[in-house]
Copies of this chain bind each other. A is one copy, B any other.
Amino acid sequence: MKLAIYQGPPIRGQIETGFERLETQLCAAAIAGAKMVVFPELFLPGYNRPDLHQTLAQPINGQWTDRFADLARKTGCGLCLGWAERDGDKVYNSASVFDETGELLGHYRKIQLFGEMEKASFEPGDRYLVFTLAGQKAALLICYDIEFPQHCRALADQGVSLVLVPTANPLGFEHVSNTFVPARAAETGMTIAYANYCGSENDLRFAGLSVIAGPDAQILAAAGRGEALLIADLDVAKHVEPDIMSMQSKDFREVTTQ
């Protein structure tokens, strides 16, 4: 299966710009044979836009998700992206995944909210999403979620072999792309696709460095600091059963300190 990740600048609150950019990248990726494109966190209406999160957040099965499904159908390429979701009086930092027919494969709410802005804008999620993509179990995490080994471990324990991760990772946190993402992949034997922003949004500068890491920590595709669309065949990734998988049989809560 070919998977794509898109790294681009924030849309600066311009929702139609966002939809145009989704369509362009999906068209290009579809021609190159990609099954799906992963876009950054809160692609609509933007990550560092607390002024917009509450006012522009949309419901599941609302106008935005209808248009995401239409874009997938129209271009013949699935998509995974982050967006601000309203559910009654609560707003979530969410991500959805649609297959190339426009079917909603699943929806996920970020569990590990990062920093004051996120905690002011959003409620945390409380459940994992596991779905089937091209015959393998896949899951979503969002940004800071990936930094905690236990979330990847929990997903791997459910048989997940591919994790899609919309993110908004700023300058100064390059170790997430360079070290954490390959580490999580190798710790669990999963492939992890981490799609970040480049450029800046208000006072926040993003790190870029979007990456797909295979289960032996090898890099399957990596971006630099600028806009990039990367389309890579995942099937070359070695299917490894790392020794550390034996950690599955240990429950750390049972380990005591002398």
Contacts and interface: CB of A to CB of B under 8 A. Distances in A.
A219, A220, A231, A234 pick with most chain B CB within 10 angstroms: A231
A228 B233 contact: yes
Given A198-B236, A236-B198, A32 B229 contact: yes
A2 B27 CA distance: 17
Contact of A224 (B2, B29, B232): B232
A208 B237 CA distance: 13
A65 interface: no
A122 to B, nearest CB: 30
B229 A219 contact: no
Interface in A97-133: none
A170 interface: no
Contacts of A232: 223-224, 226-228
A219 B224 contact: yes
Contacts of A27: 31
A148 to B, nearest CB: 25
A173 to B, nearest CB: 16
A214 interface: yes
A50 B220 CA distance: 30
B222 A233 contact: no
Contacts of A29: 28
A221 interface: yes
A230 interface: yes
A235 interface: yes
A226 B218 CA distance: 11
A25 interface: yes
Interface of A: 2, 24-25, 27-29, 31-33, 198, 208, 212, 214, 218-237
Question: Which 8 residue pairs of A and B lie closest in terms of their CB atoms, listed nearest first?
Answer: A226-B236, A220-B224, A28-B32, A226-B233, A28-B31, A227-B233, A222-B222, A228-B232
Given A31-B31, A219-B222, A221-B221, 7 more contacts: A24-B31, A27-B31, A218-B224, A221-B223, A226-B235, A228-B231, A228-B233
